[in-house]
């Protein structure tokens, strides 16, 4: 049969991989949006210099920078934590609150967020290629009527691809510098950065920054 011939030629493998990638991106979306991004619990009182993974770099900060209690939830904030007004919690290594996920991106789900963006980008590029291959251009009203849905789909995919690509590239750049979106945007308002002698006291080199983040 035609189905068997297509299977023998490997033509069914690509649609299967595409569907699996779409399912993977959906699962990653729910995983990142529903998981704990690193909420600071009241029972997890952190002593100065004991913040996970930051002991080596805290020594480079001025001695008068002390851990402070959050004015909203009254927990003692670890270094690099921030209170999120939407989530009503302090989040460890706070990056940003994502409105599409309805959740914060922080210490625990930031690596999975990067994986989600990467898979989503692959899906969008693949879908854009398929949509483009189905288009043949003619300057006629009939062509536009028959291809309007495919054309709109391609334009939407193109817009989302640009957005996801820019978001992924910007996050990878910040990760390679061992900084967060919040620290990058609010450097002048954060005490441990404003009073530091170094531009970025957490930067340990691109390789080590990436290794600590992903591994």
Q: Give backbone dihedrals phi and psi of 79, rounded to 5 degrees, phi first.
A: -55, 135
**Catalytic hit among 87, 98, 177, 215:** 98
Measure CA 81 to chain center.
17
Pairing of strands 96-98, 89-91: unpaired
Closest CA to 67 of 59, 55, 77: 77
- Checking 207-211 for CB contacts under 8 A at 24+ apart, the result is 209/175, 209/176, 209/177, 209/178, 210/175, 210/176
Q: Is 79 exposed, middle or buried (0-12, 13-18, 19+ CB in 10 A)?
A: buried
Other CB atoms closer than 10 Å to residue 168's CB: what's the count? 17
Respond yes or no: is residue 104 known to be catalytic. Answer: no
Active site amino acids: 98
């Amino acid at each position: 049969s035609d189905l068997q011939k297509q299977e023998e030629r490997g033509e069914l493998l690509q649609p299967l991989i595409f569907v699996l990638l779409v399912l993977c991106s959906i699962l990653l979306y729910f995983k990142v949006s529903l998981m704990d991004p690193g909420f600071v619990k009241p029972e997890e009182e952190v002593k100065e210099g004991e913040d996970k993974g930051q002991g080596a770099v805290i020594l480079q900060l001025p001695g008068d920078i002390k851990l402070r209690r959050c004015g909203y939830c009254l927990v003692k904030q670890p270094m690099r934590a921030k209170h999120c007004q939407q989530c009503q919690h302090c989040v460890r290594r706070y990056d940003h609150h994502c409105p599409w996920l309805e959740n914060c991106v922080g210490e625990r789900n930031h690596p999975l967020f990067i994986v989600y963006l990467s898979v989503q980008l692959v899906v969008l590029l693949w879908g854009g290629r398929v949509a483009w291959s189905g288009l043949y251009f003619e300057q006629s009203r009939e062509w536009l009527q028959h291809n309007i849905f495919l054309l709109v789909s391609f334009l939407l995919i193109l817009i989302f691809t640009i957005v996801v690509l820019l978001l992924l590239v910007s996050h990878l750049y910040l990760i390679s510098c061992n900084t967060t979106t919040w620290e990058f945007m609010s450097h002048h308002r954060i005490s441990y950065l404003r009073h530091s002698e170094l531009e970025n006291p957490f930067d340990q080199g691109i390789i080590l920054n990436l290794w600590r983040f992903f591994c």
